[in-house]
Chains A and B, each alone.
Chain A
Amino acid sequence: MSSNKLLKGSLATIVMRLLEERDKMYGYEITQKVKELTAGEIAITEGALYPTLHKLEAEGYLTTETQRVDNRVRKYYSLTKEGNEQARSKVAELEEFLLNLQKVLNPKPGLQ
């Protein structure tokens, strides 16, 4: 299992990336999608996901709608216009970081 500490700093980006692909998602669906995409390697806990979702909502990057589904009320999250812009920016930032991290972890031998 990947470390929670490594995941913590990129969770908002992960959530926004998923919502960029899908019109709307609910909390449990997000945890399951990440688990599915990573073959179980990344498991987002409720303690990590919901604070992230609520923070993004408070910052105006996510909007919510509620719907009655089966016999309960479901809260769906989706990106706002600002959220879409932020998602693109954050994903690019994370991708660049990962590229740079690779250079540090797998440095090319220097020319002698």
Chain B
Amino acid sequence: MTLDNEQISHIKSFIHSRGFETIEVEAEILDHVASAVEEKLAKDTSLNFEEAVSLVHQSFGVMGFSIFEDNIISSLGKQMNHTYLKTLRHTVTSRVLIKVVLTALFTFASLILFANTLEPGIFKIAAYLLLAIIGAIPVISHQKLFKAWGKKSLILGKLLWPFIFGSVCTAYLVQILPESFINTASTSFIIVMAGTSLLLSLGVWTTLNFIDEVYAWTSEKWLKYA
């Protein structure tokens, strides 16, 4: 027998009531529970639907549905690490590298301009703001996506963020510099600013492409069914 739409909605609500609301987790639990319920109802005609759902849930043991979520998070996390590295390799071996270099040059030139024209204390604030804004570009450019799917998708709402924060955290590098170090006549300062600019730029362009890739993958597997 096949459960009808109302029964499927009931199971969905049951899964949500247990705290599992993201599409990726809900879908996997739902199919397993629905299949098990269908089998129970087919084998024992004296059971009603609610009883069958309860029996199936009990069969998951004390951990309940959390076995799905914990393992999905672990598995997806590893896949995303693999995808990020693949995207990073693509960034440095393709024409995207031109964009990385141009962005790094712009950032570097801005930092040197700030260092030449601002007091060290003000430089740190201005540099931090510049780097944070550039680092936040992946988030700003995908604002609609996060607004639409942030709460519904485990990948887009939770697992993606550690990768995005990496770019923004580069801004903090400027904060740990002593004010005496801020001197455009110093080779060390120039090297640090150049390195920071390049690192940030590489992180931003990699993360931009990474978000697109992850969104395409998540959309194909899960979001198109939402």
Contact = CB atoms under 8 A, between A and B. Distances in A.
Interface of A: 26-29, 32, 45-47, 50-51, 54-55, 57-58, 64-66, 68-75
Interface of B: 2-5, 8, 27-28, 30-32, 34-36, 39, 59-61, 63, 67-68, 71-72, 74-75, 78-79, 221-222, 225
A54 B31 contact: no
Given A46-B67, A50-B67, A50-B68, A71 B221 contact: no
A47 B63 contact: yes
A26 B33 CA distance: 12
Contact of A66 (B27, B34, B35): B27
Nearest to A26: B31
Question: Binding site of B, secondary structure by majority: helix, strand, loop or mixed?
Answer: helix
A72 B31 contact: yes
10 contacts: A29-B35, A45-B61, A47-B60, A54-B72, A55-B74, A58-B74, A66-B222, A66-B225, A71-B2, A72-B34
A73 B68 contact: no
A3 to B, nearest CB: 17
A55 B221 CA distance: 18
B60 A54 contact: no
B67 A66 contact: no
B61 A64 contact: no
A46 B31 contact: no
What are the 5 tightest A-B residue pairs by CB atom distance, in nearest-first order? A54-B75, A28-B35, A58-B78, A54-B71, A58-B75
Contact of A47 (B3, B30, B35, B61): B61
B67 A47 contact: yes
Contacts of B59: 45-46
Given A58-B75, A68-B225, A73-B225, A51 B31 contact: no
Contacts of A72: 8, 27, 30-31, 34
Nearest to B56: A46
A64 to B, nearest CB: 7
Contacts of B221: 64-66
Contact of A70 (B2, B36, B68): B2
B134 to A, nearest CB: 33
Contacts of B5: 71
Nearest to B8: A71
A69 B2 CA distance: 10
